[in-house]
Amino acid sequence: MNTLTLIRPDDWHLHLRDGDKLACTVADSARQFQRAIIMPNLLPPITTVALAEAYRQRIIKHIPPGAKFEPLMTLYLTDNADVKEIISAAAHPSIQAVKLYPAGATTHSEFGVTKLENIYSVLSAMEEHQLPLLVHGEVTHGDIFDREAIFLDEVLTPLMKRFPNLRIVLEHISTKAAADFVKDASTYLAATITPHHLRYTRDQLLVGGLKPHYYCLPILKCAADREALIAAATSGNPKYFLGTDSAPHSIANKQSSCGCAGIYNSFAALPLYAEVFATANALDKLEGFSSFYGADFYRLPRNTETLTLIQESWEIPEQLAFGHEQVIPLGAGECLSWRLS
């Protein structure tokens, strides 16, 4: 039987949600990942060290017995973000980064930053105290398919010029423009790539009927964008690493006249990535992308335990329990050729 053993991967972009949802989301991630960067876009958002620590405690309670899983917490930037809070976050062992949501860009971003000028002093403190900035890289104007590319020009370029020593992760890149931008930028910029942007294009969402479970932000793009993302992820360039952006919403909230953006992919995240790398004849590049480059960028030790995948066909379930509701996982009903051992 064909097997693939990797140093245990980490997920550098994850939404676990809260309350009764944590039982399923934490278990699904803990099966595959040793650490995960936990997104702070709860309602209300995680804006302080105290809120992050309380959320971390709620997460830890749901780690299944015997599993090792370390949630790495983040703070949510608002226009009123406080320099003192940022400095104490930088000194806190469980807080690893701060997240910038342009106000209105995505799910629960209504408390986000309206003008970058409002947070210059905070960004300067992060640069000084070496706390990475994670960005949702989309503007809130222009065509939905162009918003990431516009962000690169209008926001990211001037931001990197003003704060050249700030480490920045451009999250869930979805375009060739973003992949190229990251490749050409300084080593202070890296990017995460999701399994859905590697596997699908907008046709999956829109052709043959509207399929809301493939709706996320940034929205799925065209074939040339997807090809550029596959090339980036499988290149062995340490600027690109794994971040699922697994972002579950209940079936009711997805299948609605105004459905939420977000895809639940944690259930089969590693098998989904493995499939992409295998198809690109690049399974030898999976370990760097999944288990090394993110840790290196965050300046954390690499993991030492391993995870084994087996080449064996299996089918992703049609739906999963999600607290007292249900969620449709990415690739529901599809056959994958790699599974967790």
For residue 232, the partner it binds in Zn ion, ligand NCD, none, with Cβ less than 5 to 8 A by kind, is: none
> Which of ligand NCD, Zn ion, none does residue 107 bind (CB under 5 to 8 Å by kind)?
ligand NCD
Peptide bond between residue 329 and the one before it cis (omega within 30 degrees of 0) = no
* Contact with ligand NCD (CB under 6 A) among 63, 116, 231, 261: 261
Which one, 248 or 338, has the nearer CB to Zn ion? 248
Q: Are 61 and 26 in contact (CB under 8 A)?
A: no
> What is the rounded distance in angstroms from the CA atom of residue 25 to the CA atom of residue 31?
10
Give, as ranges, the residues between 107 and 126 that touch ligand NCD (CB under 6 A): 107-108
Binding segment (CB under 5 A) for Zn ion, from list 116-124, 243-251, 291-299, 305-313: 243-251
Q: What is the DSSP annotation of 132-197?
A: PEEE----SSS-TTTHHHHHIIIIIHHHHHH-TT--EEE-S--SHHHHHHHHHS-TTEEEEE-HHH
List the one residue from 216, 232, 272, 295 that touches ligand NCD (CB under 6 A): 216
Active site residue 245: yes
Residues 6+ apart with CB under 8 A from 289: 233, 234, 240, 241, 242, 273, 277
Q: Give the residue among 191, 190, 188, 198 at the shortest CA–CA distance from 172.
A: 191
Dist. CA 120–CA 83, nearest whole Å: 10
Closer residue to Zn ion, CB minimum distance, 127 or 245: 245
In this chain, which stretch among 55-63, 104-112, 142-150, 291-299 interacts with ligand NCD, using CB under 6 A? Answer: 104-112
Beta bridge partners of 102: 113
Of 25, 41, 78, 244, the residue at the interface with ligand NCD (CB under 6 A) is: 41
CA-atom Rg of the chain in angstroms:
19
Q: Which does 46 bind (CB under 5 to 8 A by kind): Zn ion, ligand NCD, none?
A: none
Contact 217, 106 (CB under 8 A): yes
Can you tell me which of 32, 34, 78, 106 binds ligand NCD, judged by CB under 6 A? 106
Among 127, 138, 245, 275, contact with Zn ion (rule: CB under 5 A) = 245
* Binding region for ligand NCD (CB under 6 A) out of 24-32, 79-87, 106-114, 123-131: 106-114
Quick one: what does residue 329 bind among Zn ion, ligand NCD, none, with the CB cut-off 5 to 8 Å set by partner type? none
> How many other C-beta atoms can be found within 10 angstroms of the C-beta atom of residue 258?
5
Q: Which of 218, 214, 193, 194 is nearest to 205 (CA)?
A: 214
Provide the minimum distance between the beta carbon of 107 and ligand NCD in the complex, in angstroms, as a whole number. 3
Least distance CB 81 / Zn ion (angstroms): 19
By beta-carbon proximity to Zn ion, the closer residue of 36 and 283 is 36
CA distance 16 to 35: 13
Site string for ligand NCD, 128-157 (x = CB under 6 A): --------x---------------------
Please tell me whether the peptide bond between 218 and the residue prior to it is cis, using omega within 30 degrees of 0: yes
Q: Which of 71, 102, 243, 262 binds ligand NCD (CB under 6 A)?
A: 262
Q: Rounded to 5 degrees, what are φ and ψ at 330?
A: -60, 135
Where in the sequence numbering do the catalytic residues fall?
245
Rule CB under 6 A: which residues touch ligand NCD?
15, 41, 106-108, 136, 216-217, 245, 247, 261-262
